[in-house]
């Protein structure tokens, strides 16, 4: 893997450190991945969920890192140890003016799965800062999703004494979300957390689900993921030996195949465009089941959205093997990401044609 530069000409010598945000529980996996993929980066400061690296080769202002375990990344500016929230606000105002940033993203390195951890120190510190920031009558948008190519000042809570300032130009979709976490409001009657995960996976992958799109999901009970697909107007084939929540099983657009993935007759999936999998089994088991289904003559999936559960963190080393295996089935465009709303697992998007997505980046 190489570092891609989108604006070759605007390389600046002042850019000497970058920051990377990740799930704090995946810090070591993220470090290992960076070491292998980008040996020219030297580790510098690190705390769980927040890493900085010295850049030893020229890199454009806008850069992309291809990493499964990084949520977001950008240029590191400076540490801040403010005595008050208002002091930090004036540092933020100075930095946004210097950078020409239109957005401020305030986030904490200790966000584990989504949003702020309730009642945590970082939550309180961020709330205090946001109140102070919103008092300013500035046009800078705070914790909003950006559009492509907008400049963002990142304000990262590190610990009780320290914040970090950084910045980035929003390129890929997750770069547009504060801290690389899409702001998603859980519906009141959320059936399972998989609702949030599938929502994030669809945003990240760009897989288009419209009215009437036919999807199948292996491992669909109790039905949070189906809930999101149904909201978008999909017709869903739910494959799971376990029961679905009644609101899902009674839905007119749901067919429940109460069986294991490998027992599903191929003809039952002949109209399916997108195949999802979220079974709580080892990655090889999920891939064996999916391979059996994609290799049939009666199935014609345009793409796959698979959760691979890591029962052992060592499995992360096999990601490249999993990707090659999926590519060998004819899905040439494959991307992986540890989602913010997922757990010890990664999400794999695989497409036959890259153009099947909603966007082209
Ligand atoms: C994490 S839960 C799935 C959550 C679900 N996607 C949702 O949206 O609520 C894992 C599910 O995988 C199912 N499962 C395990 N092995 C399976 C298999 N071989 N085929 C189909 N489902 C399986 C389990 O019964 C369980 O309901």
Q: What is the CATH number of the domain that holds 159?
A: 3.30.2130
Cis link prior to 34 (omega < 30° from 0)?
no
215 & 283 share domain: yes
Same domain assignment for residues 171 and 211: no
Distance 179 CA to ligand 1 centre (A): 29
The reply to whether 202 falls in a domain is yes
User: Is residue 165 domain-resident?
Assistant: yes
**Pair 254, 132 in one domain:** no
**C-beta separation of 108 from 24 below 8 A:** no
| DSSP-based three-state secondary structure for 168 | strand
Mean pLDDT of the chain: 92
Decide: helix, strand or coil at residue 245: coil
Alpha carbon of 261 to ligand 1 centroid (Å): 9
Tell me the CA–centroid distance for residue 28 and ligand 1, in Å.
28
Q: Are residues 138 and 248 in the same domain?
A: no
The domain tally of the chain equals 2
CATH of the domain at 312: 3.40.50.150
72 in the same domain as 135: yes
Ligand 1: nearest atom to the Cα of 225: 8
Q: Are 175 and 240 in a shared domain?
A: no
CA of 118 to the centre of ligand 1 (A): 28
User: Can you give the length of the chain in residues?
Assistant: 361
**Residue of 240, 269, 281, 289 to test ligand 1 pocket, by largest number of atoms within 8 Å of CB:** 240
Residues 198 and 162 in one domain: no
Stretches in the chain below the pLDDT threshold 70? 1-14, 113-118, 360-361
Regarding beta strands 103-108 and 141-142, do their DSSP bridges make them parallel or antiparallel, or are they unpaired?
parallel
pTM for the model stands at 0.93
Domain boundary residue among 155, 180, 205?
A: 180
Residue 189 included in any domain: no
Instruction: Give a yes or no: residue 82 inside a domain.
Output: yes
Q: How far is CA 107 from CA 110, 138, 297, 314, in A?
A: 9, 20, 48, 29
The reply to whether 47 falls in a domain is yes
Q: Are residues 307 and 337 in the same domain?
A: yes
Read off the tokens for 302. Answer: 């345009």
Residues with CB under 6 A from ligand 1: 192, 194, 218-225, 239-242, 260-261, 278-281
pLDDT at 12: 40
The residues with which 159 forms a beta bridge, in sequence order, are 162
Last residue of a domain, one of 180, 205, 233: 180
Mark whether 199 and 301 lie in a shared domain: yes
Substitution candidate for ligand 1 out of 189, 202, 216, 220 with most atoms within 8 A of CB: 220
Among the candidates 146, 180, 214, a domain finishes at 180
Q: Are 357 and 316 in contact (CB under 8 A)?
A: no
Nearest-atom number in ligand 1 for the CA of 222 is 9
Summary count for the chain: helices (H), strands (E): 8, 17
In a domain, 211, yes or no: yes
Per-residue burial over 173-206, b = 16 or more CB atoms within 10 Å of its CB, e = otherwise: bbbbbbbbbbebeeeeeebbbbbbbbbbbbbbbb
Neighbours of 358 (CB within 10 A): 13
Question: Could you tell me the two tokens for 73?
Answer: 């990344």
Please give the pLDDT value at position 64.
86
Angle at 233 between CA 113 and CA 343, to 5 degrees: 15
Decide if 127 contacts 142 (C-beta within 8 A).
no
User: Beta strand pairing status for 103-108 and 151-159?
Assistant: parallel
In sequence order, what are the residues at sequence separation of 6 or more whose Cβ sits closer than 8 angstroms to the Cβ of residue 297? 266
Q: What's the confidence (pLDDT) of residue 302?
A: 97
Q: Look at residue 11 in the predicted model and tell me its pLDDT.
A: 35
Residue 171 lies in a domain: yes
> Given this model, what pLDDT does residue 14 score?
53
Rounded distance between C-alpha atoms, residue 256 and residue 248, angstroms: 9
Same structural domain, 36 and 162: yes
Same domain, 277 and 147: no
Distance CA 267, CA 37 (A): 41
For residue 51, is it within any domain?
yes
Residues 106, 208: one domain?
A: no
Q: Distance from the CA of 312 to the center of ligand 1, in angstroms? A: 19
Query: By residue range, what is the domain housing residue 89?
Result: 4-180
């Amino acid at each position: 893997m190489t570092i891609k530069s989108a604006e070759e000409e605007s390389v600046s010598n002042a850019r000497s450190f970058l920051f990377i945000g990740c799930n704090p529980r995946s810090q070591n996996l993220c470090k290992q991945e960076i070491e292998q993929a980008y040996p020219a980066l030297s580790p510098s400061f690190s705390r769980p969920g927040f890493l900085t690296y010295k850049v030893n080769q020229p890199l454009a202002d806008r850069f992309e890192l291809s990493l499964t375990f990084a949520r977001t990344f950008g240029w590191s500016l400076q540490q801040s140890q403010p005595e008050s929230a208002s002091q930090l606000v004036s540092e933020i105002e100075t930095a946004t003016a210097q950078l020409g940033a239109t957005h401020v993203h305030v986030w904490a390195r200790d966000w584990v799965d989504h949003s702020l951890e309730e009642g945590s120190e970082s939550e309180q510190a961020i709330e205090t800062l946001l109140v102070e920031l919103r008092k300013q009558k500035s046009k800078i948008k705070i914790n909003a999703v950006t559009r492509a190519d907008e400049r963002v000042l990142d304000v990262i809570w590190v610990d009780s004494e320290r914040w970090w300032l950084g910045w980035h130009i929003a390129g890929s979709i997750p770069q547009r979300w504060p801290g690389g976490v899409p702001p998603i409001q859980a519906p009141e009657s959320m059936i399972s957390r998989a609702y949030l995960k599938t929502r994030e996976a669809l945003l990240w992958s760009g897989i288009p689900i419209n009215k009437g799109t036919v999807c199948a999901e292996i491992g669909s009970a109790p039905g949070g993921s189906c809930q999101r697909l149904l909201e978008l107007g999909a017709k869903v084939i739910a494959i799971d030996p376990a029961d679905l929540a009644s609101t899902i099983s009674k839905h007119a657009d749901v067919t429940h195949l109460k069986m294991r993935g490998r027992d599903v007759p191929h003809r039952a999936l002949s109209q399916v465009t997108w195949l999802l999998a979220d079974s709580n089994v080892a990655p090889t088991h999920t891939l064996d089941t999916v391979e059996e289904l994609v290799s049939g003559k009666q199935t014609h999936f345009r793409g796959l959205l698979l959760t691979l559960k890591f029962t052992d963190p060592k499995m992360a080393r096999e990601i490249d093997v999993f990707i090659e295996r999926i590519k060998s089935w004819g899905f040439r465009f494959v991307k992986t990401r540890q989602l913010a709303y997922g757990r010890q697992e990664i999400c794999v998007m695989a497409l036959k044609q890259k153009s099947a997505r909603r966007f082209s980046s």
